[in-house]
Amino acid sequence: MSTVSDFERMLRAAALRVTAPRLAVLAAAHDHPHSDTDTLIGLVREALETVSHQAVYDVLRALTGAGLLRRIQPTGSVARYETRVGDNHHHVVCRVCGAIADVDCAVGATPCLTAADSSGFTIDEAEVIYWGRCPACALLPTPDSR
């Protein structure tokens, strides 16, 4: 569990000023991984009542640019943010309710993670999103089974 002092150290290590909005956004993203911007704004406003939408957007941009937050955007979804950075993990998304969970790197044969032709690019990351149904939605009848 991260504390405010952990977040302060993270900000300083990234050469960012320690501000109340930055601390509040880091705490909200840490406690509620894969939250969208509107959710984060609501959570930050619980801690800092007067923070503006624009301030939260600016903080998200700064923290993402500094590598303290990771921004993901599964197809058909709004941007989501998480504090788990630097380990190239993947995600699984429920097709029914949109729930998102972390998945550690793929194991076994992973031919799709090695580009057949990099076109001269130096590849440093492969983004994989697994799609399916979360445990709760898996219990619901599928449209085909009605």
pLDDT tier, 88 (very low <50, low <70, confident <90, very high otherwise): confident
Q: Which residues of 2-19 are buried (b: 16+ CB within 10 A; e: fewer)?
A: eeeeebeebbeeeebeee
Q: Is 100 exposed, middle or buried (0-12, 13-18, 19+ CB in 10 A)?
A: buried
Fill in the amino acid letter for 112. Answer: C
Name residues whose C-beta falls within 8 Å of residue 38's C-beta, 6 or more positions apart in sequence.
78
Query: Considering the entire predicted model, what is its pTM?
Result: 0.82
Mean pLDDT, all residues of the chain: 89
pLDDT at 86: 83
101 has a pLDDT exceeding 70: yes
pLDDT digits (tens, 9 = 90+) for 26-66: 999 999 999 999 999 999 999 999 999 999 999 999 999 99
Please tell me the least confidently modeled range out of 27-36, 60-69, 77-86, 111-120: 111-120
Q: What is the mean pLDDT of residues 115-136?
A: 85
19 has a pLDDT exceeding 90: yes
Question: Across the strands, what pairs with 72?
Answer: 80
CA trace torsion 89, 73, 99, 54 (10° rounding): 110
Does 84 or 107 have the greater pLDDT score? Answer: 84
Q: How far apart are CA 28 and CA 24, in angstroms?
A: 6
Q: Angle at Cα 27 formed by Cα 22 and Cα 29, nearest 5°?
A: 95
